[in-house]
Amino acid sequence: MALVHKFLSGTYMFRKCPKPGVASCPFLGTRFVDYCSSSLQKPVAGPGKNSSEGDLQGHHQREVALNITSPEEKSEVSFDKAIKDEIKSHFRRLKDDIVNYWIGPEGRPLHEVLLEQAKVVWQFRGKEDLDKWIVTSDKTIGGRSEVFLKMGKNNQSALLYGTLSSEAPKDGESGRSGYCAMISRIPRGPFERKRSYDWSQFNTLYLRVRGDGRPWMVNIREDTDLIQRKNQMYSYFMFTRGGPYWQEVKIPFSKFFFSNQGRIRDAQYQLLLDKISSIGFTLADKVDGPFFLEIDFIGVFTDPAHTEEFAYENSPELNPRLFK
Amino acid sequence: MSWAQAILLARGLSRSRGGVCGAALTGAPFPQVSLQAPRGLHCSAAAHSSDMWLVPPPPKPPRGPTRALAPHEELFRQAPDGAQDKANFVRAVQTFGQHNVHKRGHVDFIYLALRKMREYGVERDLAVYNLLLDVFPKEVFRPRSIFQSIFIHYPRQQECGIAVLEQMESHGVMPNKETEFLLIQIFGRKSYPMLKFVRMKLWFSRFKNINPFPVPRDLPQDPVDLAALGLRHMEPNLSARVTVYQMPSSRDSAGAADAAEPHIVGIQTPDQQAALARHNPARPIFVEGPFSLWLRDKCVYYHILRADLLPPEEREVEEIPEEWNLYYPMQLDLDYGRSAWDDYEFDIHKVEEGPVFAICMAGAHDQATLAKWIQGLQETNPALAQIPVVFRLARSTRELLATSSGLEEPPPPPPEGLEEEEDSQQRQQQGQS
């Protein structure tokens, strides 16, 4: 029973079927809360955060949805039919997975996957591509920043825009604030199984963006089941040039440094690329004002000229235990 | 009864000797007491609270009922000229050191000074941070035994030292050797401020020069210089030429037309000039904007001159005749046995947009100003006289202007232009697409 319950809550989120919106919202909220708040720069303070965060996150979702989707389709609500459809679709996806497994990884022939040198992971060519992303800002902890995500001109790129405000929330604890972020959703398989990306044959991240001169932070998160590691991520910076031209940003994975709860760790470890769960972009440059970032696509590729394994060596001054 | 007598006796002792018992009565942590006894530097607050060597008399309550003065705030008010600059800040810090030989309340003073630094404009000055660290008494907070360093020795003072370093970090000030010597002298090598210092030294040097599009720390104040800097920043082509089409009216030398003449600065590359000369006059080109560009904490606005993307049937591929070079072929259609291993292209159609012909930054964002820019462009681009130019300006820059302190002067809403688009608001949100 519990399984069915969970599975329903998940499927409602995915399918946007004629839903009793009120009922599904709490699930939506709590489901994202864990994920979003763990990527924040600051720890969330105060009791009862779950409810407020859930609300706000749902609010964000609604805003994005307002921007993205056409007016909601009018049809009658039928629980039995919806449940049946969901079960059917999950089993269909399970069948597809099993069939794909015999063809090769990700349903493609093995030689094709092995020979691949460049791969597009996220692209923005339609409104359904925006559903793979979450936007969040320090509104979740009481700040004033705003961020929205929508399709750009001609439905060819994603436009992330909003206003950054470094006004600290008046909760008596936080002294600083001001961030906006865009995070990719964790890919899910049939029956909401967690999936991950395997980029171990590539060594560079590629982004085609256009910004307004502000620096962004690119965060990559590894897939892990350990709850102790849920705040760990690997980050590097993405500098935008500004101006009317598109810009190609190539970040080698060896440059990503390791951090936990927003603090750089003393012991640095390389980013392991075989289980990547999500990528995120954070803006927190302490400058108040509007911002925008247009993203064409995000990919990974192999740069044969790049041979560096890891850019940061550990210091014996900080970690004497690593050098014993 | 004997217990009360003992307390009285102890109090008397503490008054006379100023050491052990006073500290013990105030409840100081145990390891500090043994240290203070021989030196007596840390006289307890309870024993001497009302004695005469509290340097300045307690300040009068402030006139406004807003909030109480922080301790030591009067030191920052004694400036003879009342100016808020580095000299007065240094003088306030030195006054604290001179009047307060025993450095009483130095933690409060340092926290206050950290808050005041931005007002005095010294938040990026390394010498001032070193001066602040110098306020700490030396050698007092150093742990003397391993137990002291295990249980954090003088935690409030260490926190204060970390706060100084953290403010340096958030303003991007790299500590130097002097900072290191001061920290070793104050807190010792095995302390949290020293750990923070080592981390800063490590990571600051790693990330110091990673910005591939550097912006100078001190931006020019002159709007024309700032516009030229921003245009150079945006344009990747180094052969681009910056032209000042109109200087601001204060030192006007260009044309004597109107009273208020905002500056107009533009940039154009030779390639863009050639592309504009080749442009089909039947197709209009557009002036779009304003779009925002951030140079550190300053926001400037620019406009672009662009055309729509040609439909695929009208695009002409430039052909290179084979006889241009007799020794080497100009085009190679050979397939060197390349296989899928060598395919480094992404399997996606990149977003294509129409060509950009020029960029400009102007002091005003209305159509009259931008028309002057187009007129100025016609001198170097005679083809522009035949091409119809459509102004697609944002009617209201409300999106861009929301809640900001570092912005340029707000661009006034342009007058009701003839060709302004109705969906300007939407265009504004779309950024520069």
What are φ and ψ of residue B225, in 5° steps? -65, -40
Q: How far apart are CA B432 and CA B290, in angstroms?
A: 8
Q: B231 and B148: one domain? A: no
Residue B414 has pLDDT above 60, yes or no: no
Based on the fold, state whether residues B340 and B239 are members of the same structural domain.
Answer: yes
Do residues B178 and B295 share a domain?
no
CA atoms of A164 and A147, how far apart (whole Å): 8
pLDDT grade for B58, boundaries at 50, 70 and 90 = very low
**A86 pLDDT exceeds 70?**
yes
Q: Min CA distance, A3 vs chain B (Å)? A: 39
CA distance B274 to B318: 14
One domain, residues B238 and B375: yes
Using N-to-C axis directions, what is the helix angle for B126-133 and B177-187, rounded to 10°? 10
- pLDDT per residue over A199-233, tens digit each? 999 999 999 999 999 999 999 999 988 888 889 99
Using a CB-CB cut-off of 8 Å, the residues of chain B touching A114 are: none
Does some domain include residue B349?
yes
Q: Does A122 touch chain B if contact means CB atoms closer than 8 Å?
A: no
Give the number of domains in chain B.
Answer: 2
Smallest CA-to-CA distance from B407 within B294, B301, B298 is with: B298
Tell me the pLDDT tens digit for each residue of A301-312.
999 999 999 999
* Euclidean distance between CA atoms B218 and B154, whole angstroms: 39
Do the Cβ atoms of A297 and B346 come within 8 Å? yes
Nearest CA to B15 out of B49, B54, B53, B55 is that of: B49
B177 occurs within a structural domain: yes
Decide if B432 is inside a domain. no
The residue assigned the tokens 């929508």 is A150
Contact A38, A224 (CB under 8 A): no
Task: Tell me if A9 is assigned to some domain.
Answer: no
State the pLDDT confidence band at A107, using cuts at 50, 70 and 90.
confident
- Considering only CB atoms, which chain A residues are within 8 Å of B347? 118-120
Longest alpha-carbon distance in chain A: 69
Please state the rounded mean pLDDT for residues B66-93. Answer: 80
Residues of A in Cβ contact (< 8 Å) with B170: 286
- The DSSP secondary-structure symbol of A248 reads E
Report yes or no on A81 lying in a domain.
Answer: no
pLDDT value of position A200: 92
Q: Which of A74-83, A142-151, A242-251 has the lowest mean pLDDT?
A: A74-83
Rounded CA-CA distance A320/A61 in Å is 47
CA distance A102 to chain B (A): 22
What pLDDT is recorded for position B424? 39
Q: Which residues of B touch A163 (CB under 8 A)?
A: 402-403
Q: What is the pLDDT of residue A317?
A: 87
Residue B218 lies in a domain: no
What whole-number percentage of chain A has pLDDT above 70? 77
- CB-based contact B299:B406 (threshold 8 Å): yes
The answer to whether A314 faces chain B, any CB pair under 8 Å, is no
Q: Distance (Å, rounded) from C-alpha B53 to C-alpha B277?
A: 83
DSSP for B29-66 reads -HHHHHHHHHH--S--TTTTTTSTT-SSPPPPPPSSSS
Residues of B in contact with A165 (CB under 8 A): 403
Residue B76: pLDDT band (50, 70, 90) is: confident
pLDDT, tens only, B250-276:
544 444 444 468 899 999 999 999 999
**Residues A237-264, mean pLDDT to the nearest whole number:** 93
Contact (Cβ atoms closer than 8 angstroms) between residue A60 and residue A160: no
User: Is residue A17 included in any domain, yes or no?
Assistant: no
B111 & B255 share domain: no
Q: Which two tokens stand for residue A230?
A: 């849920």
A206 touches chain B (CB under 8 A): yes
Alpha carbon B248 to its chain centroid, in Å, reads: 27
Please report the ipTM that was assigned to this predicted complex: 0.74
Residue B375 included in any domain: yes
In sequence order, what are the residues at sequence separation of 6 or more whose Cβ sits closer than 8 angstroms to the Cβ of residue A167? A143, A144, A177, A178, A288
Q: What share of chain B is helix, strand, coil (3-state, %, to 5)?
A: 40, 10, 45
Claim to verify: residue B181 and residue B262 sit in the same structural domain: no
Q: Specify which residues A298 forms β-bridges with.
A: A122, A207
Question: What is the pLDDT, as a whole number, of residue A172?
Answer: 85
Model pLDDT, residue B261: 81
- What digits encode the pLDDT tens for the residues A25-54? 333 333 333 333 333 333 333 333 333 333
What would the two tokens of residue B167 be?
């403010």
The per-residue pLDDT for range B149-160, each reduced to its tens digit, is 899 999 999 999
Across the interface, which of B170, B400, B433 has its CB nearest the CB of A152? B433
**Cα gap A137→A143, rounded to integer Å:** 8
Domain, as residue range, for B172: 73-208
Greater model confidence, B40 or B142 = B142
Assign A256 to helix, strand or coil.
Answer: coil
Predicted pLDDT of residue A85: 94
Mean pLDDT confidence for A62-72: 45
Mutation site for A-interface testing, chosen from B159, B288, B433 by largest number of A Cβ within 10 Å: B433
Mean pLDDT of the B39-46 span: 39
Give kind and range of the element (H or E) at residue A251: strand A247-252
Helix (H/G/I), strand (E/B), else coil: A298: strand
Residue A212 lies in a domain: yes
Say whether B406 and A288 touch across the interface (CB within 8 A). Answer: yes
**B229 shares a domain with B144:** no
Q: What is the pLDDT of residue A173?
A: 85
Residue A130 has what pLDDT? 93
Give which of B85, B90, B154, B88 is closest to B120, Cα–Cα.
B85
- Flag whether the pTM goes above 0.80: no
pLDDT of residue B253: 46
Per-residue pLDDT for B190 more than 70? yes
What's the pLDDT at B260?
Answer: 67
Give pLDDT tens digits for B294-311: 998 899 999 999 998 888
Within this chain, do residues B237 and B356 fall inside the same structural domain, yes or no?
yes
Per-residue DSSP letter, A230: T
In a domain, B138, yes or no: yes
A263 touches B at CB < 8 Å:
no
Domain span at residue A193? 120-301
Residues 6+ apart with CB under 8 A from B414: B365, B366, B367, B393, B395, B420
Cβ within 8 Å of residue B280, ≥6 positions away: B314
- Closest to A89 measured CA to CA, from A3, A190, A4: A190
Which among A290, A315, A317 has CB closest to B399?
A290
How far apart (Å, rounded) are the C-alpha atoms in residues A163 and A165?
6
Across the interface, whether the CB atoms of A244 and B339 are under 8 A apart is answered no
CA dihedral B42, B47, B50, B55 (to 10 degrees): -10
Q: Which one-letter amino acid corresponds to residue A289? A: G
B343 assigned to some structural domain: yes
Q: Residue B366: pLDDT band by 50, 70, 90 thresholds?
A: confident
Write phi, then psi, for A293 (nearest 5 degrees).
Answer: -145, 125
- Per-residue burial over A302-320, b = 16 or more CB atoms within 10 Å of its CB, e = otherwise: bbeeeeeebebebbeeeee
| Pairing between β-strand A257-260 and β-strand A180-184 as defined by DSSP bridges | unpaired
Provide φ and ψ at B281, rounded to 5°.
-65, -15
Tens of pLDDT, residue by residue over A113-147, are 888 899 999 999 988 999 999 999 999 998 999 99
Tell me the two tokens of residue B408: 């340029």
- Same domain (yes/no): B235, B311: yes
| pLDDT above 70: residue B129 | yes
Q: How far is CA B337 from CA A115, B278, B333, B343, in A?
A: 15, 38, 12, 12
CA distance A118 to A206: 9
pLDDT for B11 equals 53
Whether B265 maps to a domain, the answer reads yes
d(CA B85, CA B119): 8
For residues A189 and B426, the model is more confident at A189
Give the residue from A213, A235, A234 showing the smallest Cα distance to A285.
Answer: A213
Q: Say if A71 falls within a structural domain.
A: no
Burial of B145 (0-12, 13-18, 19+ CB in 10 A): exposed
Report the pLDDT value the prediction gives residue B104, as an integer from 0 to 100: 87
Domain identity same for B249 and B366: yes
Q: Omega into A190 within 30° of 0, i.e. cis?
A: no
Which of B421, B137, B414, B430 shows the shortest CA–CA distance to B284?
Answer: B421
A126 has a chain B CB within 8 A of its CB:
no
Concatenated DSSP letters for B156-174?
HHHHHHHHHHHHHHHTTPP
**A39 lies in a domain?**
no
Q: How many domains are there within chain A?
A: 1
pLDDT of residue B320: 67
Say yes or no: B235 and B201 in one domain: no
> Which residue of chain B comes nearest to A158, CA vs CA?
B430
pLDDT at B91 over 80: yes
Considering the domain architecture, whether residues B235 and B203 belong to the same structural domain is answered as: no
User: Given this model, what pLDDT does residue B66 score?
Assistant: 53
The residue among B231, B302, B348, B426 with the most chain A CBs within 10 A of its CB, best to mutate, is: B348
Go through B228-265 and write b for each residue having 16 or more CB atoms within 10 A of its CB, e for each that does not. bbbbebbbeeeebebbbbbbbbeeeebeeeeeebbbbb
Q: Is B189's pLDDT higher than 80? A: yes
Residue in B with minimal Cα distance to A159: B430
pLDDT at B64: 46
Q: How many CA atoms lie within 13 A of B337 on its CB side?
A: 0
| A291 and chain B in contact, CB less than 8 A | yes
- Asked if B356's CB is within 8 angstroms of A245's CB, the reply is yes
Structure tokens at B52: 């005469």
Taking only the tens place, the pLDDT of each residue in B200-259 is 999 999 999 999 999 999 999 999 999 999 999 999 999 999 999 988 875 444 444 444
| B281, B384 Cβ separation under 8 angstroms | no
Question: CATH no. for residue A166?
Answer: 2.60.120.430
Distance from CA of B184 to the nearest CA of A (A): 15
Contact check, Cβ <8 Å, B344/A206? no
Measured between CA atoms, how close is B298 to chain A, in angstroms? 9
The more confident residue out of B73 and B96 is: B96
Give CA–CA dist B86/B29, Å, rounded: 38
Residues 6+ apart with CB under 8 A from A225: none
Contact at CB, B403 and A159, closer than 8 angstroms? no
